[in-house]
Amino acid sequence: MTSRVLNLVLKRLGIAAVTLLIVLFAVFFATSMLPGDTASILLGQAATPEAVAGLREAMHLNDPAILRFLRWLLGLLHGDLGTSYANDMPVAALIGGRLINTMKLAGITTLLAVPLALTLGITAAMLRGSVYDRTVTIVSIGVISVPEFMVATLAVLLFAVYLRWLPALSSVNEAHSLADLVRIYAMPVITLTFVISAQMIRMTRAAVIETLSTPYVEMALLKGASRSRMVLKHALPNALGPIVNAVGLSLSYLVGGVIIVETIFNYPGIAKLMVDAVATRDLPLIQSCAMIFCLGYLLLITAADIIAIMSNPRLR
């Protein structure tokens, strides 16, 4: 690694650290401004004003916001996510199992979507202008135009209501065999794959086409290299940076998509946990879940940028 590449990588990591601090600040104050009083919601409508005031004092809700933010940030630095208001349990204990479920869903989707999207994007670029290319382009643009909740709703209507092939809800605790797991994960994975693959196909196709139009690739073609050799040996290694960026950006859509998918299919992941926490104004739980989503998004984007920097031949 050259000193120039090292400097760029360190600079990118520094930007990521500053961005994370700004995001933590935004997450804390955005959740603090949610309508409704946490103490009143937890105690119910029959609570007396004295009881509500006492609970607010006990939960430090009367402290200035900046003091609560610094206390929360200090806890995060020590690995303490706080205690859930609604469940009176450590937030880390509530999130643990749910986070694993979400990572399983995201992992299975990634294993399916990335090879599929790269194959379609690269082959569409190789056959640019053909019927195959136009079909892939039209379908991917069509999928991009449809929001995640619509894809999920159509999947439920088709596979669960009309065909009765798959369950409408993804209750992973009811899985007793591999076949059950496949049926339970099928619709959430199909929905997320549709959403992120379309973006990835478009960006991969554009990156490969741009590389194919460079002079050294055209020179390889004039020297008699076959089209497949020209793409695999000359174009793809130089398009690696843009392709990795495309994969990273597309996978970042998982962060938003998984919230909708887990809610619609009642999948027991961290996004469903956060949505339930909003109903009870469980601020420590909401803030921790939101922070994890933002951190995941930031890690994906930063990793994609670093790989793009390290794979750029002009920086070596």
Three-state secondary structure call for residue 159: helix
Would you state the structure tokens that stand for residue 223, as one six-digit string?
Answer: 């020297």
pLDDT in tens, 118-128: 889 888 888 88
pLDDT under 50 in the chain at which residues? none
Three-state secondary structure call for residue 143: helix
Q: Give the pLDDT of residue 40.
A: 72
Q: Give the pLDDT of residue 315.
A: 64
Would you state the structure tokens that stand for residue 50, as one six-digit string?
Answer: 């004295």
Q: Give the pLDDT of residue 1.
A: 65
Q: Give the pLDDT of residue 135.
A: 92
Three-state secondary structure call for residue 96: helix
Q: Going by C-beta distance under 8 Å and a sequence separation of 6 or more, which residues neighbour residue 109?
A: 188, 189, 192, 193, 196, 254
Q: Going by C-beta distance under 8 Å and a sequence separation of 6 or more, which residues neighbour residue 78?
A: none
Q: Going by C-beta distance under 8 Å and a sequence separation of 6 or more, which residues neighbour residue 175?
A: 181, 184
Cα 51 to Cα 70: distance, rounded to the nearest angstrom: 27
**Which CA distances in Å does 235 have to 121, 200, 231, 255, 293?**
13, 18, 5, 31, 34
pLDDT in tens, 177-206: 778 788 888 888 888 888 788 888 888 888
